[in-house]
Amino acid sequence: MNKKVLEKYAELIVKVGLNLQKGQRLFIAAGLNTAPIVREVTAKAYQNGAPLVTVLWDDEELKKIRHQYAPRDSFEEFPEWVTTGVLENAKRGDAYLSVTGLNPDLLAGFDPELIALELKTRAKHFKPALNLISNGGVQWTVICPPTPKWAAKIFPELSEDKAVEKLWGVMKKLCRLDYDDPVSAWRKHLSDLSKRHDYLNEMQFDTLHFRGPGTDLKIGMPKDHIWKGGGSKTQSGVDFTANLPTEEVFSMPHKDRVEGTLRSTKPLNYFGNLVEDFNLTFEKGRVVEFSAKKGEETLKKMLDSDENAKQLGEVALVPYYSPISESGLIFFNTLYDENAACHLALGSAYRANIKNGLEMSDEELDAAGVNDSLIHVDFMIGSDEIDLDGITPDGSVIPLMKKGAWAFEV
Ligand code: ZN
Ligand code: ZN
């Protein structure tokens, strides 16, 4: 990649992603294979006046080594100091940047049960920190810059070097780094997204109805649900953008009011294990039937992660005609693939997607229809064949998407 592109990317991350404030510290969790962009972001952060940038390095190969050699009964072990550190940094108000470029095949072929247990253990320990961060405690951003094994998975016909180079070329478009001024291009795009969610918030649809090949799904929405998208705000009112790139507006389904069937439109990547061409049937909000052409065992393990893993926590609208979708690529990476298509997530909902969600007790959230689980796994149901209607509380039907494109003006 060239230095100019890296610099523009880093500037976008610091200004639009994190919106790092004067005097604010930055905490970065990053994979070793992403060091070039981490260095560039660190430079930009200091140039912006950050008093301290700390990086917690990880190496994905070590994860694989653990699955290869560690005792089978040791996957509930966890280094508490890591999560204590993340929580302390968040409590102090450090902005949080996650930089990953995972090899989608890293854990392919390893025991899905141990993979699930490792994730569950990790999720359990990270929960207090993630609750604070993802519910508006501080600005946070997730990015996935190109890395060799991942790029080679997307472009299997190329060598790793060539694949990385090609992926940077794609990334430039997806992150709008090919604009003269990516920062202002993003501000405009984010404002378009916010007009969309303002409209949806005003309408307060009772039900969303998705229709397409293999899909006829009615999703009940909780009372006082909130659509978000593009930019976010911390509880203290600082704007930030959690995902770069982002094309979605999203809210939460009512966990007990989902009925019908759906067919996935892209592979779901569950930590290296792909689930492809799967169908889910819902009754009273829960998955009661499932099948997959590939990876059914992984899907089953995922659905059995905990009591509420069979219920939905997110519904997101993404027009089919967006840069990511137009690239025509499958990225094997949720950050990109989820921004290519309308999607749902099994597992936890974001409390910020319902009025007063951050103040409600667990019992109140449950009563309001908010799902809580250790997992949050996105999967795609959008395509250029999907139609979506919003049904208002008084029963009027309003088209929201037709053949994958927005059907309403803002
Ligand atoms: Zn989403
Ligand atoms: Zn999601």
Cα 338 to ligand 2 centroid, rounded to whole Å: 8
Reported for 32-37, long-range contacts at CB under 8 A and 24+ positions apart, including other chains, are 32/57, 32/58, 32/59, 33/59, 33/60, 33/101, 33/147, 33/148, 34/99, 34/100, 34/101, 34/145, 34/147, 36/1, 36/6, 36/145, 37/6, 37/9, 37/10, 37/13, 37/99, 37/143, 37/145
pLDDT value at residue 78? 97
Question: Residue 272: its pLDDT value, please?
Answer: 67
Which band of pLDDT confidence, cut at 50, 70 and 90, is reported for residue 221?
very high
1 has a pLDDT exceeding 70: no
Q: How far is the centre of ligand 2, averaged over its atoms, from the C-alpha of 347 (Å)? A: 9
CA distances from 86 to 51, 80, 223 (A): 18, 10, 34
Give distance in angstroms: CA of 360 to centre of ligand 1.
Answer: 23
Query: Could you give the CA distance from residue 145 to residue 175 in angstroms, rounded to a whole number?
Result: 10
The answer to whether domain 3-145 has CATH 3.40.1110.10 is no
| Position 116 confidence tier, pLDDT thresholds 50, 70, 90 | confident
112: CA distance to ligand 1 center in Å?
Answer: 24
pLDDT, tens digit (0-9, with 9 covering 90-100), for 281-297: 999 999 999 999 999 99
Question: 158 CA distance to ligand 1 centroid (A)?
Answer: 30
- Determine the Cα–Cα distance for residues 224 and 206; give it in Å rounded to an integer: 10
pLDDT in tens, 61-90: 999 999 999 999 999 999 999 999 999 999
> Ligand 1: distance of its center to the CA of 378 in Å?
7
Q: Per-residue pLDDT tens for 163-219?
A: 999 999 999 999 999 999 999 999 999 999 999 999 999 999 999 999 999 999 999
Taking 90 as the threshold, does the pLDDT of residue 108 lie above it? no
Distances, alpha carbon 400 to alpha carbons 90, 109, 200, 246, in Å: 38, 41, 9, 19
Whole-prediction pTM value? 0.84
pLDDT tens by residue, 305-325: 999 999 999 999 999 988 898
Where do the domains of the chain lie? 3-145, 201-233+246-406
Cis peptide before 245 (omega within 30 of 0): yes
Report pLDDT for 338. 83
For the chain, the residue count is 410
Percentage of the chain beyond pLDDT 70 is 100
pLDDT at 332 over 90: no
Ligand nearest to the CA of 243: 1
Instruction: Tell me, in angstroms, the distance from the centre of ligand 2 to residue 89's CA.
Output: 24
